[in-house]
Chains A and B, each alone.
Chain A
Amino acid sequence: MTPSDHDDDERDAWLSAALHHAPDAQAAPPPALSDTILRQARGAARATKAATPARPRGAWATVWDWLARPPVAAGFASLMVATVVGLIWWERPIDETLAPPNASSPAARVVPATASAAPPKAARRDADAPRPAPASSGRRRLAVTPEPLPTAPAAPTPFTDRGTPAQAAPAGTERNAAAEARNDTGATASGAPARGAAKAVPFAVPQAAADQLRREDSTEARPAALAALLDSVAAQPQRWSWQRGESRRPMNPALQGWLRQLDGATHGRWRDAGDVAPASPADVVQLYRDGTPVATLQLSDDAAWLASGSQASLPRSATRTLKQALDDATR
């Protein structure tokens, strides 16, 4: 039953008729009262009209009013935030868990430790080694393109291992990049700076990174590559596998425990190793993510090595303990 049906049921014709014939049925407000009300209403209307043209309604005022509307203002605020974030992350790799390429310069080593403010690889390289030859721009682009963390076996390898033959094929591109970086370093010596260097430095190297650069010789608590690796292994162990010797095996709690032990033993001892390789024969543990080699850890008699160019000097007793633990974990 609709309200109108209810109305029909509830409306009493006799009462309505009596009401319409009541003595006050024709009652109306006194004319003076009506005049007063209408006069006040007209005055208010005049005030409204007077207030409206008093405001300049130029094009800018209209645009400003439009911008002041909450949905529009919110949209512009979002756009500005996105722009600022975009400028901050300009030319940076999307996946910050990637380790930097094998870079021999201190900047390349230090900057990844300040993950949130790290300049892009290209900017770092340009800043440290200006390029004289525009003809090599195509090749340079190939070398500095950020490489995302692989999500499929066919993806390129983000980490490189210059000292591990097992990584020869996936690391080919990285080797090219590294070789080019060395060429770039050579170009710096020729004294011909590239335009990109001056352009990239102002916002590619923030204050935190500059501070790190000033502390070139200081040690690191943990390389960014190792930190990212540990985080990723802890978060998604099912995607990881490891190889020591011939056979590759899926990530297991034992090796995770060894990685944590390694992290604890090397904490605060990491330094840039440059191109130096382990002097003594080293135990090598290759880590794969989704079947793609991502990192190589080496344990020599007196140091732990990360293939991305970091080294942590350790007492021989510590390396012996780590080797023993590695044997236990990979047994």
Chain B
Amino acid sequence: MPHANAEPADDALMTAYAAGDARAFEQLYARHHAGLYRFIRRLLGSALNAQTDEVFQDTWLRVVQARAQWQPQGASFRTWLFTLAHHRVVDQLRRSGREVSVDAFEGDDGAPWEPAVGVSAAWRHWPAPAPAATHTEELAFWRRAGEKLLGCLEQLPIPQRSAFLLHHDDGLGLDEVAGALGVGFETAKTRLRYAMSKLRTCMGAYLAPLASGGESR
């Protein structure tokens, strides 16, 4: 995540905080609290939404406790932060009795990933993606799409879900995603492709009625 030149980098802030500068931590928190909270909430899913606050707090407290051991070399602070959160979400899911597969980067049938045939056709009927939709109809469309996407996300295995969220929502590069998840670059890439393929299938079917000009649902 790029910062203005005048602002210190995350690593410098964390180093300053490790030396006792509380304001450095406040800056870090201001930068990352919203994205991290969203990541945890979406990764936990609607069934465990109530645990979001606890995991979020645990993650930041872990940052506080590990400040002395943190080293700026290696992964960036942001990657490290999301790694901590991911580990805590997985722990929470396991405690809640959910089965969390750590190697679910292949298809459910074990077949290697291939682009979904025919799905892309449905996407042609979607409005052009815009960061902030201006027209009311488009805004409504994207809100429904977002709502549906959250539902589709919950159908993904945790490894694919976390790869997609880190990459598409939090803006991490593939190498950073791999680092945050503790997997190789190709594994992260495969997980991401599976996630996108499944999400496109899920979303394309849902939004298909829009292509005929009618209201979707």
List the interface of chain A (C-beta within 8 A of B).
3-4, 6-7, 10-25, 27-30, 33-34, 36-38, 40-42, 44-46, 48-49, 52
Contact = CB atoms under 8 A, between A and B. Distances in A.
Contacts, number: 133
Interface of B: 17-22, 25-26, 29, 33-34, 37-38, 41-42, 53, 56-57, 60-61, 63-65, 67-68, 123, 126, 129-131, 133, 139, 142-143, 145-150, 164, 167-169, 173-175, 185, 189, 192-193, 196, 199-200, 203
A12 B145 contact: no
Contact of A45 (B21, B167, B175, B196): B21
Contacts of A10: 167, 174, 189, 192-193, 196
Contacts of B167: 7, 10-11
A34 B57 CA distance: 8
B contact patch SS? helix
12 contacts: A6-B174, A7-B174, A10-B189, A14-B123, A17-B129, A18-B142, A19-B169, A24-B41, A25-B38, A41-B63, A42-B22, A48-B18
B192 A38 contact: no
Nearest 10 CB-CB pairings of A with B: A22-B146, A17-B129, A49-B20, A45-B22, A21-B142, A48-B20, A18-B145, A21-B146, A13-B129, A42-B22
Contact of A17 (B20, B145, B147, B150): B145
A196 to B, nearest CB: 58
Nearest to B176: A3
A34 to B, nearest CB: 7
B168 A11 contact: yes
Contact of A24 (B148, B150, B173): B150
A33 B189 contact: no
Contact of B34 (A6, A28, A38): A28
Most chain B CB within 10 A, of A6, A17, A23, is at: A17
Contacts of B199: 12, 15
Contacts of A45: 17, 20-22, 25
